[in-house]
Structure 1
Amino acid sequence: MTAGGLPFASSPEALGFDSRRLADLDGYMSGMVEAGLVAGTSTLLMRHGQVAAFTTFGHARLGDDAPLARDALFRIYSMTKPVTGVAMMILFEQGLWRLDDPITDHLPEFAGQRVYAGLGDDGAMRTVEADRPPTMRELMSHTAGFGYGLFDIHPIERAYRQAGVMMAQGHQQLVDRAARIPLMFQPGTEWFYSIAADLQAVVVERLTGMTFGDFLRARIFAPLGMVDTGFQVPADQVHRLAEMYSDDGAGGLKVTTTAFDMPINDYTRPPRFEGGGGGLVSTAVDYARFCQMVLNRGALDGVRILRPETVDLMATNAVPEAVLDRFNPLRLLPFNPALTFGLDFAITEDPKRLGLSEGKGTLSWGGGGGTWFWIDPENDVVFVGLIQRMADPVSNEFRAKARTYTYAALTHPEK
């Protein structure tokens, strides 16, 4: 038995999992559906390159009679970022850029960009000269100093919102708007979640002469058999797209048409721009194929996307120690020496210090619509979880519970 080319094990036990304990994961997922906190859930667990469990509960949208299908399409938002990182590293292997290149070598619009230095008595933004342009390494690790405009927590974030950076009508407009806004901090001195992956998509287009979507299809999606991943859903497949919900304020759900105060892409039309930071729609199987390629250090089913050494580079911390050693409440996650960030992936360096059971070197990230994944090389595990509930404490709980139940069921953690 296979799903999208992924082979199923004869039983979870054949891969070192206890079926009865995995039932606790299913019980949690089905319980959240029954409680009306999500419309549906899809989880896919793999080990040693085989599917240990692939379960769905609920429906693609509230009121549907049909159960949620295994090939349901989900807005994966920031799970786009690791895909963008792989696209960048394909070009890295071709010698088209280097990690210590100034970004201005590839994005000259950012030459002379200044740095935020506080607000004056009149409320106007004060700036200073940048010590130097950010590097490509800093661009791929969110330490360049860019904002995002998703969070109302800093004057630079508010400037991104006011300028409509993420509402740009194309990549060039996005670059031009961002280049007029100062950096949040001197390059390499802090970590802040940003438009970095969207700028990486621009770099890919400029280096290849292809649209970002065309490059992803030619160099990643088609070779990996990711047949349902892209920036638009064909008209005859829109029925597979799960509805997006948010908290209705009364313990239930409401259909949402906005994300972070911006209209969500309905995927029935081409997007304003093919966003490297959050534009893709995908399925559990497609994204598991991508994750398995990363776990295999660059190859899947005889197709090599990256060299093993290149994947290792992506999985190596790129955040300066001085940044990791201090706490900053503005960071999306509490990065420290035990939880670091590489090139478009978060990295679990010391799971015991974090109170986790996953293996050292686990790569992970998630999307603002409730999706998440992790890749655990030490235990040879891939997990993909998909829901469609906009980021809030309930949607975030899914990630922690999935890890807890998965590793409680792993009775033979050795390879």
Structure 2
Amino acid sequence: MTRLPAYDRPEEGGFDSGRLQRLRDHMAGMVEQGRIAGGSTLLMRRGRIVRFDTFGGRRLGDPEPLPRDALFRIYSMTKPVTSVAAMILFEEGRWTLDDPITRYLPEFSDLKVCVDFNAGGDMRLEDTARPPTMRELMSHTAGLGYGLFDHHPVERAYKADGVLTASSLDELARRAAAIPLMFRPGEEWFYSVATDLLGLVVERISGQRFGDFLHERIFEPLGMRDTGFQVRAEDLPRACVLYADDGAGGLRPATDTFGVPVHDLSRPPPIEGGGGGLISTAVDYARFCQMILDGGALDGVRILAPATVRLMASNMIPEPVLARSHPLRLLPFNPAFGFGLGFSVMHDPARMGSLEGRGTLAWGGGGGTWFWIDPEHDIVFVGMIQRVADPVSDEFRRKARVFTYQALTDAGPFEELS
């Protein structure tokens, strides 16, 4: 039971069946080559499933084929969900984008900023002129670190101080607030713990545990019955094993993702992190994406107003930042490709050498999952594998886009550029 309507044939959704086979062949090849244990791809057009394929199994050598309702760790695909949760409270008038985060996170009231550092990693610090705003928190321009990378002393401090391994969201905030900002708020983009802190803001404003808020305000209304921070005992047989590169061309069960231990899905996580902790299925996450594509509503249930979705889909990285490159960025943001409130935003696909439509929203997770939402072509795509993000999974995501759009046959007539 997919809980989503489907076309009888891809051609009804404007896709060439033969050309879509390239995507299926690539996925199957990844399994046959031992590069992934299994995976799912779910392609939707105009609110209906065009193709929904599964490959391999939940674990290497599994004789049972991967079920359509297989459970995946979606890691940073939690971030758009957290952003929607925050915008629900935004619509209730509980906060504004230009509020200082100290209104909800007073731990950050006495911040320092790293303005320079030497080869040994010693930082020169100054006072910040102001705290980050909620807009900057949601767009990763607040100056916070993450502790997942090793190319800046602030990042190394986040890892050394165990920010991501804190025992609670409150403790995570305290540890992060004790570390200097990497740059002054609004002056650069850096992937960070910002969305974990946003989850804490949701808790403090709503008065609810973060996971309870998500279930009550998003998952239950949207019918995302398999999404949450923990897997029920009866559903554990549907959970996929997370793998990592074994260094010899094969796979090994992952024990950590970028230094953070992989938690047991049958137990509550140490924290219900807004930045990456949810488990979901391809169908559940497609329902979430379709809600965004449809302007905040699905199956007669409204989560957000269309104007709020448009706001989330607007670039929030300041223009001077987009005008220059920076080695610390996770992605090559520029005037053609920015970041909104929880998603990357494609403004000029031709300039970026991409086939997707203008306004496409996207993100991925550290376990190899990814999605995009293309409003110009009315497309939702969700891909689910369980391989810790690396060049192989990055290639997988890139080819999935190419193989999808080369099969799209009714994207509109070609027009000569004048």
TM-score range, shorter chain: over 0.9
Tell me the residue number matched to 2:89.
91
| Residue 120 (structure 1) shift | 5.8
The residue that corresponds to 2:26 in the other structure is: 28
- Deviations along 1:189-212, whole A, 9 cap, x unmatched? 000000010000000000011000
Give how far 1:63 is off.
2.0
Q: Aligned letter for 2:46? A: H
Q: CA deviation at 1:261?
A: 1.2
Report the alpha carbon displacement of residue 5 of structure 1 after superposing the two structures with TM: 1.7
For 1:169, the equivalent position in structure 2 comes to 167
What secondary structure sits across from 1:373 in the alignment?
Answer: strand
Q: Distance in 1 between matches of 2:58 and 2:48?
A: 26
CA–CA distance in structure 2, aligned partners of residues 285 and 376 of structure 1: 17
Counterparts in 2 of 1:236-385, with a 5 A limit? Answer: 236-385=234-383
Q: Check conservation: 1:379, 1:414, Cα contact below 8 A.
A: no
What RMSD, in angstroms, separates the aligned Cα atoms of the two structures?
1.1
1:14-25 pair list within 5 angstroms: 14-25=12-23
Separation in 2, partners of 1:34, 1:120:
48
Contact kept, 8 Å, 2:121 with 2:153, in 1: the verdict is no
Distance 2:254 2:203 in 1: 32
* Partner Cα separation in structure 2 for residue 262 and residue 122 of structure 1: 25
What corresponds to 1:160 in structure 2? 158
Counterpart contact for 2:122–2:153, Cα < 8 Å = no
Alpha-carbon shift at residue 125 of structure 1 (Å): 2.4
Task: Give the drift of 1:398.
Answer: 1.0
1:156 deviates by 0.2
2:403 aligns with 405
Contact (CA 8 Å) 1:4, 1:286: kept in 2 or not?
A: no
Compared CA separation, residues 389 and 144, structure 1 to 2 (3 A): same
Tell me the distance in 1 between the aligned counterparts of 2:134 and 2:296.
Answer: 21
For residue 331 of structure 1, what is the amino acid of its counterpart? R
Q: Per-residue displacement from partner, 1:343-391 (whole Å, max 9, x unpaired)?
A: 0100010000011111000000000110000000000000000000001
Q: Percent identity?
A: 64
- Contact 1:284-1:384 at 8 Å conserved across structures: yes
CA distance in 2, matches of 1:410, 1:50: 15
1:121 Cα deviation from its structure 2 partner = 8.4
2:190 — aligned with what?
192
Output the CA distance in 2 between the equivalents of 1:385 and 1:123.
39
Which amino acid letter does the alignment assign opposite residue 24 of structure 1?
Answer: R
1:70 corresponds to which of 44, 68, 88: 68
CA contact (8 A) 1:88 1:200 kept: yes
Shift of 1:413: 1.3
Letter in 2 for 1:229: T
**Quick one: which amino acid aligns to residue 225 of structure 1?**
G
3-state DSSP of counterpart to 2:373: strand
Alignment of 1:4-19 (within 5 A): 4-19=2-17
8 Å CA contact retained: 1:324, 1:337: yes
Corresponding residue SS for 2:406: helix
* Alignment length (residue pairs): 413
* Distance in 2 (alpha carbons) for counterparts of 1:180 and 1:243: 36
Q: Aligned equivalents of 2:146 and 2:119: distance in 1?
A: 25
Q: Deviations over 1:6-33 (max 9, x none)?
A: 0011210001000000001000000010
Instruction: Name the CA distance, whole Å, in 2 between partners of 1:262 and 1:376.
Output: 32
Rounded to whole Å, the distance in 1 between the matches of 2:102 and 2:35 is 45
Q: Which of 218, 221, 230 matches 1:220?
A: 218
Cα separation, 2, equivalents of 1:65 and 1:251: 22
* Aligned equivalent of 2:393, options 392, 395, 400: 395
Taking the aligned partners of 1:54 and 1:308, their CA distance within structure 2 comes to 28
Residue identity matched to 2:389:
A
Q: Which secondary structure does the structure 1 equivalent of 2:110 belong to?
A: coil
Distance, in Å, in 2 between the alignment partners of 1:363 and 1:184 is: 26
Unaligned runs of 5+ in 1: none
The one-letter amino acid of 1:383's match is F
Query: Do 1:142 and 1:194's aligned partners in 2 also have CA atoms closer than 8 Å?
Result: yes
Change (3 A) 1:68 1:181: same
Decide whether the 8 Å contact of 2:242 with 2:254 is kept in 1: yes
Structure 1: distance between partners of 2:272 and 2:119: 40
Structure 2 unaligned segments of length 5 or more: list them.
414-418
In the superposition, the TM-score normalised over structure 1's length comes to 0.98
Q: Once the two structures are superposed, what CA deviation does each residue of 1:56-76 show, in whole Å capped at 9, x if it has no partner? A: 010000121100010000000
Rounded to whole Å, the distance in 2 between the matches of 1:203 and 1:366 is 23
CA shift at 1:250, angstroms? 1.3
SS at match of 2:387: coil
Aligned to 2:416: none
